[in-house]
Amino acid sequence: MAAPALLAAGVGRRFLGRWAVRNVSFELPTGALLLVHGANGAGKTTLLRVLASALSPTEGSVSVFGGTPSGARARVSLLSHADGHYDELSGRDNLEAARRLGNLTGNVGEVLARVGLATRADDPVRQYSAGMRKRLAFARVLLKSPALALFDEPYAALDADGHVLVDTLFRELHAAGTTLVVSTHQVGRVAPISTHTAELASGRLVAFGRAGTDAPGEPVSTALPTGNLAEERP
Amino acid sequence: MKEILRQCTLVVRKELLHLWRGRARLVATAAFAFANLVVFSFAGGLHSEALRTNAAGFLWVGILLASTLALGESFRVEVQNNALEAMLLLPVHPAAIFYGKAIGNLVLLTLVGMVMIPFSVVLFDATPAGGLGRLFLTIPFGAAAISAPGTMHAALSSRARSRDVLLPLLLFPLVVPGLVAAVQATQLGFVGDAMGDYGDWLTVLAGFCVVQWGLGGLLFSFVVEE
């Protein structure tokens, strides 16, 4: 039996004495599309960064395709709030540097055209609007052709056309077998195509399950302590 | 090892491209170094013997002070949009990032040092006794003695709120041995090497560089990885 795309076991992450995420456990099969939602400060960003190996968990463990998250980096992409671009370089230069450094097989010109940046590809990124920077970040994800892609607020800063583009990209990636984890407040846009949903509240996974089921409560964090997590101190 | 070398080459390429596209960093560093030399020349008293005898010291202190601008900026661009994290997640080996960025900073500081030599000659009235060869040879070694520990500590302090203060506080004490060797070798370039000591000081400087560049490659992953 193939290893799940993601396996989180009791994952917790603490920042300077505050737990941003705690006791999160779930298993996500390969090819699934997980919608992660929750209020501001619920721990969505931290959870995605831990799953992508950008942060190491303070407690618990994460397995990606049966291996360690850092060992699976070549197969994983993270689109986060910070876009990872160099402002002085052009969009094309940024992607070309990433393609060469990561030995990526994608075509820079094609992915730039796919996200609607072909005409501005040679402009410095510092001249890009926030929405264009987000499109470039999407191009970077596409360039990598990851087996697991994690998106943190993918709709933020995008216009209406951008929203449609993101919807389309999610459908295409999902159809191609990519495992997707999408953290967003635009639940209505992603829910129709999601296979699994997870809800975070105060750093806890309060619900996890297959999308569309009436009782998406399995498995969830166990032994939940009471009280506001953000107030906890070790 | 071969893959790290390949990635290092590409990081150097990216650094040089970034340096060229954002030439303001190069100009600002050179301007700051020049301003330091001008201040030293006035502080030392015009046409004084003290200026000539301490020309090498003034030159290297000027370069060291200016280097904090360049080194701090080199990691500000990495942290600003989480570009360093994006590079690590590609994945790029931390040692390749360290050597790539250190070489990029070495190129920048060498250029600044080379440009400052003629200004030193004029401002400090320090005509090189044996020609400019020794001076131009010493500059890359001295720049290497600053760039490797500078890159490491710029990374270390890049996420700190008081990083502008932290970087010189961490860096300056650490580079003293290299700075002393660079100053001595440069001074022999200015006044002449009657005793044949230039090679010894250059060897000390090169030894310092080997240690710093080796340590940087080994320890950088602890600085940048969570």
Considering only CB atoms, A85 lies closest to which of B81, B89, B226, namely B81
Show residues of chain A in contact with B88, CB under 8 Å: 54, 73
What's residue A179's pLDDT? 95
What average pLDDT score do residues B168-187 get? 95
Nearest CA in chain B to A124: B21
Contact check, Cβ <8 Å, B17/A93 = yes
Whether residue A1 is contained in a domain is answered as: no
Contact check, Cβ <8 Å, A101/B7 = yes
**Nearest CA among A18, A77, A1 for reference residue A232:** A18
**pLDDT higher than threshold 70 for residue A233:** no
**pLDDT higher than threshold 60 for residue B141:** yes
What is the band of A33 on the pLDDT scale with cuts at 50, 70, 90? very high
What's residue B183's pLDDT? 96
What is the band of B158 on the pLDDT scale with cuts at 50, 70, 90? confident
Whether residue A230 is contained in a domain is answered as: no
Whether residue A142 is contained in a domain is answered as: yes
Whether residue A234 is contained in a domain is answered as: no
| Total CB pairs under 8 A between chain A and B | 71
- Asked if A3 contacts A65 with a C-beta cutoff of 8 angstroms, the reply is yes
What is the band of B46 on the pLDDT scale with cuts at 50, 70, 90? low
At B7 the three-state DSSP class reads: helix
What is the band of B225 on the pLDDT scale with cuts at 50, 70, 90? confident
What's residue A219's pLDDT? 44
Report the C-alpha gap between B196 and B176 in whole angstroms.
23
Provide the token pair at A36: 């992660």
Considering only CB atoms, A86 lies closest to which of B18, B90, B91, namely B18
Q: What is the pTM of this model?
A: 0.88
What's residue B127's pLDDT? 85
For A118, residues 6+ apart whose C-beta sits below 8 A from its C-beta are A109, A112
What is the band of A213 on the pLDDT scale with cuts at 50, 70, 90? low
Contact check, Cβ <8 Å, B91/A102 = yes
Report the C-alpha gap between A126 and B134 in whole angstroms.
42
**pLDDT higher than threshold 80 for residue A221:** no
What's residue B159's pLDDT? 81
Q: Does A157 touch chain B (CB under 8 A)?
A: no
Distance from CA of B194 to the nearest CA of A (A): 48
Contact check, Cβ <8 Å, B80/A87 = yes
Contact check, Cβ <8 Å, A55/B87 = no
Q: Residues A148-174: pLDDT tens digits? A: 999 999 999 899 999 999 999 999 999
**Nearest CA among B86, B95, B7, B11 for reference residue A144:** B86
What letter would DSSP give residue A90?
Answer: B
Contact check, Cβ <8 Å, A102/B92 = yes
Q: Centre a 10 Å sphere on the Cβ of residue A218 and count the other Cβ atoms it contains.
A: 11
Residue in A45, A55, A73, A88 to test binding to B, most B beta-carbons within 10 Å? A88
What's residue A181's pLDDT? 96
**pLDDT higher than threshold 60 for residue A34:** yes
Considering only CB atoms, A54 lies closest to which of B10, B14, B85, namely B85
**pLDDT higher than threshold 80 for residue A230:** no
Task: Give percent of chain B above pLDDT 70.
Answer: 99
Show residues of chain B in contact with A92, CB under 8 Å: none
What average pLDDT score do residues B24-34 get? 92
What is the band of A210 on the pLDDT scale with cuts at 50, 70, 90? confident
What's residue A228's pLDDT? 41
Ramachandran area for residue B91 (φ above 0: left; ψ -120 to 50: alpha; else beta): beta
Q: Which of A65-79, B135-149, B172-186, B200-214 has the lowest mean pLDDT?
A: A65-79
Contact check, Cβ <8 Å, A86/B226 = no
Distance from CA of B220 to the nearest CA of A (A): 16
Show residues of chain A in contact with B17, CB under 8 Å: 89, 93, 97
**pLDDT higher than threshold 60 for residue A226:** no
What's residue A29's pLDDT? 94
Report the C-alpha gap between B9 and A18 in whole angstroms.
40
Q: Does A101 touch chain B (CB under 8 A)?
A: yes
Report domain extents, chain B: 2-224
What is the band of A81 on the pLDDT scale with cuts at 50, 70, 90? confident
Whether residue A137 is contained in a domain is answered as: yes
What average pLDDT score do residues A108-125 get? 94
**Domain range for residue A172?**
6-224
Q: Does A86 touch chain B (CB under 8 A)?
A: yes
What is the band of A211 on the pLDDT scale with cuts at 50, 70, 90? confident
Q: What are phi and psi of B129, to 5 degrees?
A: -65, -40
Distance from CA of B181 to the nearest CA of A (A): 36
Q: Which residue has the tokens 């032994």?
A: A223
Q: Residues B92-130: pLDDT tens digits? A: 999 999 999 999 999 999 999 999 999 999 999 888 887
For chain B, what is the mean pLDDT? 91
Domains of chain A: total: 1
Task: Give percent of chain A above pLDDT 90.
Answer: 75
What's residue A180's pLDDT? 96
Distance from CA of A175 to the nearest CA of B (A): 24
Q: Does B5 touch chain A (CB under 8 A)?
A: no
Give the domain CATH number at A168.
3.40.50.300
Residue in B7, B15, B80, B81 to test binding to A, most A beta-carbons within 10 Å? B81
Considering only CB atoms, B82 lies closest to which of A84, A102, A124, namely A84
Q: What are phi and psi of A28, to 5 degrees?
A: -120, 120
Q: How many helices (H) and strands (E) does chain B have?
A: 10, 0
